[in-house]
Amino acid sequence: MGVSNKWEPVVTNAAVNLRLAEISDLDALERIELSCFDSDRLSRRRMRYWIKAEHGILLVAETESEVLAYGLVILRRGSRSARLYSLAVLAKARGQNIAPALLIKLEEMVLSAEKLFIRLEVAEDNLAAIRMYKKLGYRKFGIYRQYYATGVDALRFQKPVLHPNMANAMKHYPWYKQTTAFTCGPSALMMAMKHVRSGTPLDQTTEIDIWRQATTVFMTSGHGGCHPLGLALAGHQRGFDVEVYSTQINDLFLDGVRSEHKKSIMRIVEKDFIERATNAQIPIYQREIELSEIETALNKGYGVICLISTYQFYGIKAPHWVVITHADDRCLYLHDPDGSEGFYDESGNRLDRSSHANIDDREDADLDYQHLPILKQDFGSLSVFGKTKLRTCLLVKPNE
């Protein structure tokens, strides 16, 4: 969705107005670009394109005499995310909060275009910009190696623009950050169980123990993730009633596993899960769960965990377990256990935060992985994984 050119200028202080860029601003925009960047500059032709583009917002900050700064956001087609492509302020105008004012107004306009997130890249050595982004609520989730022409790495930041303070406004829901790359399932189950029964421990011992009970052993690479029936059994053994909704029960997560030996092991493990879940009389519904059923479960105080694809979050096709914490008329809200540990390079490889301690030292970053808003109309595309279009969800209830 584009932004109307009838949008009215807003006074940010006594001297500076914000407005959408016009063709007559090209000379000023070119001067700003040449002044602020030594490389990776936007050409005059591209500036002209983005002034006219329906899927872009090019905002300028001006005084009565000149344009001092601009910000460009690209509205991603087919996605609920937007990208801050460029933000530049003339040196003589810095220190007047023009950049934050531009970014805040861009966030408002992005939200009006029905986007949920803004993402951006920033040079790792641009400390002033990094401080500003953090202050405005942006959190790092990845890194691009040697992204800029100078060879400098780019840090990737993200911020939810729909209800950015929702984590503080909503009723408390337990959150636990997974401690390994392969224990999202146990971490999600632990949060759901803690929500249902407050005495449930949230610790690494429980996390690893559930993984040992629920793992598929292998995955495309590395350690296996968790099978929905394995997680259901782990919850059942801890005194909870668990219902399983899954569009398929057999041959889960075999896509991408090339080794026939590994596939045979995964099938043996899966067969055992099916037999034990059947013997335990765990309800298994071989169908997709409806949104109305999820909302009913939430209203009853049940825990709801769901498998999603991380592609919409990180551009990486990987199965990932999350908790659905809340629903309103427009959105579902998720707790993502990957939290601030979820750093990936440009190839989709998960980075060990212990070896990248400089990426983020703020514990409050964890809040940005709680109550993540997902439009209900987008949930269908988020909650499907693999060539077989797997959809699976668990309801965790008190054992009454």
pLDDT digits (tens, 9 = 90+) for 237-267: 999 999 999 999 888 887 777 788 888 888 9
Instruction: Please state which CATH class domain 167-398 belongs to.
Output: alpha beta
Is pTM, for the whole model, over 0.85?
Answer: no
Query: Which band of pLDDT confidence, cut at 50, 70 and 90, is reported for residue 221?
Result: low
DSSP for 105-173, written as a single string: HHHHHHHHTT--EEEEEEETT-HHHHHHHHHTT-EEEEEETT-STTS--EEEEEEE-SSTTHHHHSPP-
Start and end residues for every CATH 3.90.70.10 domain found in the chain: 167-398
What is the CATH code of the structural domain delimited by 10-161? 3.40.630.30
CB neighbourhood size of 199 (10 A): 6
What pLDDT sits at residue 8?
Answer: 40
Start and end residues for every CATH 3.40.630.30 domain found in the chain: 10-161
What pLDDT sits at residue 163?
Answer: 61
